[in-house]
Chains A and B, each alone.
Chain A
Amino acid sequence: MAMQTIDIDLNRVEGDLEFQLDVEEGVVVDARCIGVMYRGFEQILIGRTPRDAVVITPRVCGICGTAHMYSGVLALEQIWQVPVPPNATRIRNLCLMAETIQSDLRQTFLMFTVDFCNPSYQKKAFFDEALTVFEPFKGKCHLEALEYSKKILEVVAIFGGQWPHSSYMLPGGVVTEPTTRRIIECTDLVDQLIRWYERSIIGCSLSHFLSLTTADDFFSWLEEKPEHSQSAIGYLTRISRELGLHEIGLGAPNMISYGAYCIPEQWLPPYTAPQHLVESGFYNAATQSIETLDHQKINEHVRHSWYYPYEGGLHPWQGETIPDYIPSSDRYTWTKAPRYEEKVTQTGPMAELLIGRNPLTTSLYSKENGNTWLRQFTRIYRVGENLLRMHKTLMDLAKYTNDPHYEHPPENSEVDGAGFGLIQAARGSLGHWIKIKNGVIEKYQIVTPTAWNASPKDSIGQRGHWEESVIGLPLQDPDNPLEIGHVVRSHDPCLVCTVHLLPTGKRITYGL
C-alpha cells in the first residue's frame, strides 16, 4: 500500500504552521500539525511589573491584540480584587467587538473565499460568479472587506488611540472618557457597517436575518429572493455546499467557549462567576450537553512538543514553557496540547454560538453536525450580531456619559497572588494565567484559541482537533488537495496556506 506524506504550510498572523498528512490510497490516515516558530513571549514577561502585561501581550498577535490585553487585565483584576466601573467594561467590549468584526471580515473574504477562485474550479458553474464577488483586489466582496474592516477599526482608535497594539485597558478600567463626540463618531461608523452588511452580506434587513431560527428557515430564506441568494452569505453558502463542505472537516466533537463580553454591571469582585452576554461553557459531545465551565479542568500536554518534558498534563498555573528543540524525534511542534478534562476540544465562532445557545446555529448543528461550511457561516453570521451589540453598547454609554471610566486601584491592593483572565477572541477561547510574587510577574501562561485547535497529539496519543478534522478525508486529487485548504482555512489560520507534497522522495509543491 503506497503511503504519501503531504506537508502543508500554514502562514498565520501569530506565526507559521505546517501540516503533515499521511495519505493512503487517496485518503488521509494520519496528520501532524506543526507550529514552526518559537518566540518565547511568556518568558519575556517574567520579572516585569504586572501592569506591563497590557503593553507586552497585545504584541503576541497583530490581529487580536485587544483580546490579549483584555485577558491580561481581567487576570490582574482578579488577583487584586479591584472594582471596575461599568463604563470601562462597555468600552472594552465595544473595542473587542470591533476587533472581532475586523478579523471575521478579513478571515472570510481575504482568506477563505479566495479559494473559490482557484483555477482548478474553472469548469464549475459558479466560477465566473466567484471571480466577480471574491477575486482578490478585484471582486466586490474582497474590495469591500478591505474597506469596511478598516473602517470598523476606527472605533478602536477613537477609544484606544490606535489599532493594532494600544494599551488603554488597565486594572480598574480604561483610560479614555466616553465623551459625546466619541460616542457619536462610533455610532456613525457602526451604522455605516450595518447598512453595508445589510446591502452586501445578507441582502435583507439585519433584524429579519437574525430572526431566522431554524435550518429550514435559513434554507427557505436563501431561495426566497435573488437578493438573498446573491448576497455574500448566499454565494458563500451555495458554493460551499456545491463543493460538499457541509459534509467534511468535523474534527473534535467537544467544544469550549469562555463566554463573550462581560456584562458591564456584573464584572465586579470577587470575579468568581463572571456573567457574559454570550454564555460560557463546555459542550460535552458524549452527553450532548452544555456543562458549566471550570478552568481547573484545563491542562496542557507537551508529550509531542519541543518543550522540556513532563508527565501528563499541567494546569496553566503549574505550566512550564522551556524550549527543548529535538527535531529528529516523535516530538514535532512548538504548540502545546491543551485539553479539557483530558478531552480534545475545538473552539471558535461555531463553538461560541452553539454554547451560547444561538437557535439557528443549534438547529444547523443538529441537522448537519459541526462541518466546514457551518464553521465559516457562523463567523460571518456573528458579524451581524456583534454590530447590533456595538450599537446597543454605544447607546448604553450615551446614557451614562458622566459615570467614571477608571477607578485607580487603592494603595496596597496590588498584592501577590494568582489569577486568570478568560476571553472569547475572534478565533475562540483565549486565556491568560498569571502568578505575581514580590510585586513582579513570576509566571505567565497563555493558552490561545489556535493552541486548542492546532494542538498536537497529547500524552495518551489523542490527535489535536485540526489533525482529527482531516482524518478519513478522501482527496480527489492528492497532487492538488483543495479539500484540505477549505477545511484548514475554515478554522481561521489567519493567513494564506499552501501545500507541498513529498511523494517518493521527489518534492512537488502545490498551491491551494
Chain B
Amino acid sequence: MPTLMWIQTGACGGDSMSILCADSPSLENLLDSHKVDLLWHPSLSHSSTKKLKNTIQSICDGAIPLDILCVEGSIVTAPNGSGMYDTFAKQPKMQIIEQLAQKAEVVVAMGTCAAFGGIHAAPPNPSECIGLQFDKAEPGGLLSSEWRSSQNLPVINVSGCPAHPNTMTKTLAMLLLGMPLPLDHLNRPQAFFNTLVHQGCTRNEYHEYDIEEHIPGGRGCMFFNLGCRGPVTQAICNTELWNGRSSKTRVGVPCFGCTSPDFPLDHDLFKTEKLGNTPTQLPAGVERAKYMAYKNLARAAAPERVANKKMQP
C-alpha cells in the first residue's frame, strides 16, 4: 500500500483546492485505484495532529515508509533564516520538510510556490520565501541542487499557480504506476511541460493573422499588447481544460506565465513589454526578423471575418 503525505507550508491552499477539481483522474479515483494510504492532507484527513506528529516521528525513525511527499506552498525562511514565520507545533515548517524529504522515495513540489518560491517570493519577499530546490530559476532552495530523494530523483516540480489539477493527479498516477518520468531543465515532468499554453488556444486564428487586442474584453489575441504569455509558457491549460470546461486565454484573460520560475513578473501584468512594435519575448525559439516579416504578411492576409473579429473564440 503506497503512502502519500501532503504538507502545506507558506500557502493559500489553492493547489489543494485545485486537485479537488481534478477529473482525469480525479483525486478520489486516484487514491482508490492505487489503494493509496493518505498519511496526511490538511483538508481531507480526519485524523488528528496527534497522529500527524506521530506519523512524522515514525517516518523520521524509519518505522513508516514514505513513498510520496507532496509539498504545497513557499518555504518561509524569515525571520533571519529561522523559519519562525511559519510553524507547526512551535517548529519551523522548513525544518519538518527537510527532515521528511530525507526519508521520502519521491518529493513532489505541488505548485509554483513550492517549486520556485512563487508569489510570496515577489519583491520585497517579506517572508523570505524560496522553493524546495530552486530560488526562482536558480539554485538556492531549501535543498541543494545536488540533493536526490531515495529513488535518486530531484524534487519533481509540478508548477502552476495553482498547479493544473490533472497535471497533479497524472503525475502522481505515473509515480504510483512506476512509469518513467522524464523531467525538463527545471525538473518539471516533460509530459505536461512540453506543451505551450498557446497550443489549443481558441484565439489562435487571431494570433495567426496578427489581429491583436489593445484593450481587454475582446475576441482577438492578447500576446502583443495585453501581457499574454501563452506562446512562451509551458503548460497544458489549453490542451486539457480547467474544470473540464475552459482556460484563461479562451475567456479573454491573458496567460500570466504562472508555471514559470519568474511568476509573477515584476512589471505591469496586463501589458506586454515591447522592443519597438513587437514583444520583447517572442514565441519560444522564434527569430525576430523572420517573425516580423511573417507578421506583416499575416495581417495583410487576414480574412475580413477575422480582421473584423466576427469569430467567437
Interface residues of A, Cβ cutoff 8 Å to B: 9, 11-16, 36-41, 43-44, 47, 49, 51-52, 55-56, 59-63, 65, 106, 110-111, 114, 117, 136-137, 143, 146, 149-150, 153-154, 156-168, 170, 172-177, 179, 185, 323, 325, 327, 334, 405-406, 408, 494-496, 498-500, 509-512
Q: Specify which of B16, B124, B245 is in contact with A13 (CB 8 Å cutoff).
A: B16
CB distance from B228 to the nearest CB of A (A): 12
User: Is the beta-carbon distance between A165 and B162 smaller than 8 angstroms?
Assistant: yes
Chain A residues near B52 (CB-CB < 8 A): 498
CB-defined contacts of A175 to chain B, threshold 8 Å: 216-217, 251-253
Chain B residues lying within 8 Å of A509, measured Cβ to Cβ, are 48-50, 53-54
**Interface positions of B from 116 to 131, Cβ below 8 Å from A:** 119-120, 122-124, 126-127, 129
A-B contact count (CB 8 A): 234
* Residue on B nearest A7 in the bound complex, by CB: B89
Does B59 touch A at the CB level, under 8 Å? no
A39 touches B10 (CB 8 A): yes
Can you spell out 8 A-B residue pairs with CB atoms less than 8 angstroms apart? A11-B8, A38-B85, A38-B127, A49-B267, A106-B20, A153-B243, A323-B126, A500-B53
A179 and B312 contact, Cβ closer than 8 Å, known pairs A38-B127, A44-B124:
yes
B256 at the interface (CB under 8 A from A): yes
- Contact yes or no, B12 A157, CB < 8 A: no
- Total chain B interface residues with beta-carbon distance under 8 A: 76
Main secondary structure of the interface of B (DSSP, over half): loop
The 8 closest A-B pairs by CB, nearest first: A511-B48, A40-B126, A62-B14, A406-B217, A509-B50, A13-B13, A162-B242, A498-B49
* A60 CA / B31 CA spacing, docked (Å): 28
CA distance A137 to B15 in the complex (A): 19
Instruction: Give the CA-CA distance A37 to B85 in the complex, in Å.
Output: 5
- Bound complex: CA of A143 vs CA of B8, how far in Å? 24
The reply to whether A325 and B253 form a contact with Cβ atoms under 8 Å apart is: no
Quick check: A166 and B253 within 8 Å, CB to CB?
yes
Decide: A163 and B243 in contact? CB cutoff 8 A.
yes
Q: Is A162 within 8 A of B49, CB to CB?
A: no
State whether A161 touches B246 (Cβ < 8 A).
Answer: yes
Most A C-beta atoms less than 10 A away, residue of B18, B46, B50, B244? B46
Find chain B residues with CB under 8 A from A159 CB: 251
CB distance from A319 to the nearest CB of B (A): 15
CA distance A170 to B268 in the complex (A): 14
Q: Does B98 contact A (CB under 8 A)?
A: no
Is B312 in contact with A161, judged by CB distance below 8 angstroms? Answer: no
Q: Kindly list chain B residues whose C-beta atoms are within 8 Å of the C-beta of A173.
A: 217
B250 at the interface (CB under 8 A from A): yes
Interface string of B25-44 (1 = CB under 8 A from A): 01010010000000000111
Inter-chain CA distance A147–B49, complex, in Å, is: 27
The answer to whether A153 and B47 touch across the interface, beta carbons within 8 angstroms, is no
Residues B16 and A158 in contact, CB atoms below 8 Å apart: no
Please tell me if the beta carbons of B217 and A495 are within 8 angstroms of each other in the complex.
Answer: no
Q: For B253, what are the chain A residues with a Cβ–Cβ distance below 8 Å?
A: 160-161, 166-168, 175
Of residues 213 to 254 in B, which have CB atoms within 8 Å of A's CB atoms?
A: 215-217, 219, 237, 241-253
Contact of A510 among B50, B86, B123 (CB under 8 A): B50
With known contacts A14-B12, A111-B43, A114-B46, A146–B28 Cβ distance under 8 A: yes
Distance between Cα atoms of A136 and B45 in the complex (Å): 8
Contact B251–A110 (Cβ < 8 Å):
no
Contacts of B10 in A (CB 8 A): 37, 39
**B245 adjacent to A157 (CB under 8 Å):** yes
**Contacts A37-B85, A59-B119, A408-B215 given; does A494 touch B43 at CB 8 Å:** yes
Q: How far is the CA of A511 from the CA of B26 in the complex (A)?
A: 28
In chain B between 254 and 269, which residues have their CB closer than 8 angstroms to a CB of chain A? 256, 258, 264, 267-269
| Chain A residues whose C-beta falls within 8 Å of the C-beta of B49 in the assembled complex | 9, 11, 498-500, 509, 511
Give me 18 other A-B pairs in contact (C-beta within 8 A), A62-B15, A153-B243 excluded.
A9-B88, A11-B8, A37-B87, A38-B127, A40-B126, A59-B12, A59-B161, A62-B12, A150-B23, A162-B246, A163-B242, A165-B162, A168-B251, A170-B217, A323-B79, A405-B217, A406-B216, A498-B52
Asked if residues B119 and A13 are in contact (CB atoms below 8 Å), the reply is: no
- Given the interface pairs A61-B12, A176-B251, A510-B50, the reply to whether A158 lies near B44 with Cβ below 8 Å is no
Q: With A and B bound together, what is the CA distance between A154 and B244 in angstroms?
A: 7
Cα-based distance from A512 to B245 in the complex (angstroms): 38
**Are the CB atoms of A499 and B84 closer together than 8 Å?**
no
Interface centre among B17, B18, B42, B45 (most CB of A within 10 A): B17
Alpha-carbon gap, A59 to B263, bound state (A): 12
The reply to whether B50 and A511 form a contact with Cβ atoms under 8 Å apart is: yes
Closest beta carbon of chain B to A430's beta carbon, Å: 14
Complex: chain B residue closest to A149, CB-CB: B20
CB interface residues, B 70-91, toward A, < 8 Å: 74, 76, 78-79, 84-89
